[in-house]
Amino acid sequence: MDLLQLKYFRELAYSQHMTELSEKLHISQPSLSITISKLEEELGVKLFDRIGRRIVLNEYGKIFLKHVDTIFNELEYAREEIKEAKKACHKKVILATTGTIFLSNFIIEFLEKNKDINLKQFISNNEEAIELLEKGEIDFAITYPPLKSENIETVILFEDEIMLVIPENHHFSKNREISLYELKDEKFINLVDHYDFRKVTDEIYKNAGFTPNIVFEGELSLLEKLMKAGTGVALVPKSIVELYSDFPAKTLKLKEPKFKWTIGFSWLKNKYMVETLKRFKDCVFKYYNIK
């Protein structure tokens, strides 16, 4: 049996008038009669008693109608539940990133302007981000390096310059720029709170031709105190340094190796975007001045 048979049975059970129902359903009376007969044949009982030209639901029909009503009520409940879930889903943005610190100002601004939207963000590597986008388990990804896949659309948000940060009383503090190799004997602080930048610094040190003496690996929030204490030097993205108006350290440009930290914004190609996702994408483009 299928839902169409059950629908016709239910309608007939309540109307108990074959001719009127066939006109209402825009089907011929013989077709309606055949559908009901097949259902009765499958159940092995008659569901209606024929009294002259009238049909009346019998005891078997009443038992069956009770369960058919339950089926259609459950389907209606399911539709309503899905509708509510869809509304909730449309107010959520799921974002995977390979780093978080440079996003803080944007996320604060977005949430302040879109108080009706829930933003879920978590850390992933590039391979995971591609897989999650293709599966539809996330809406967007912001990554270093930018994602490359035939199924994914990516735009460059920005290219960030990597700076050397040293204590203000450091013996190189009068320099405006410096070759990283000149600091091979210095003590280094490594920032590992966002995993993508750790890959960047590892590559820069390798290209500079030395293995740094790392005396501390930790959170960016500790860098201010470490710089005041003269603990060591660090490589930091320019955009991060600019987050602090009174950062107690000197920043130097690197002569070599030159390195750009390129951040990409990605989503699944041809993805249908509900209004919430369009708003998030538009906010990203506006904030980072993407045309």
Residue 95 DSSP SS3: strand
pLDDT class for 96, splitting at 50, 70, 90? very high
User: CA-CA distance, 185 to 231, in Å (whole number)?
Assistant: 13
Highest mean pLDDT among 146-155, 190-199, 249-258: 146-155
pLDDT higher than 60, residue 43 = yes
pLDDT of residue 88: 60
Residue 107 DSSP SS3: helix
pLDDT tens for each residue of 231-264:
899 998 887 777 776 777 888 999 887 788 889 9
User: CA-CA distance, 82 to 47, in Å (whole number)?
Assistant: 33
pLDDT higher than 70, residue 85 = no
Highest mean pLDDT among 100-104, 151-155, 269-273: 151-155
Q: Quick one: average pLDDT of 66-90?
A: 82
pLDDT higher than 90, residue 60 = yes
pLDDT of residue 228: 80
Q: Quick one: average pLDDT of 193-208?
A: 80
pLDDT of residue 195: 58
Q: What percent of the chain has pLDDT over 90?
A: 52
User: CA-CA distance, 183 to 257, in Å (whole number)?
Assistant: 13
Highest mean pLDDT among 61-70, 109-118, 161-170: 61-70
pLDDT higher than 60, residue 193 = no
Q: Which two three-digit tokens encode residue 36?
A: 């009901």
Measured in residues, the chain has a length of 291
What average pLDDT is seen over the chain?
Answer: 88
Q: What is the 3-state secondary structure (H, E, C) of 211-276?
A: CCEEEEEECHHHHHHHHHCCCCEEEEEHHHHCCCCCCCEEEEEECCCCCEEEEEEEEECCCCCCHH
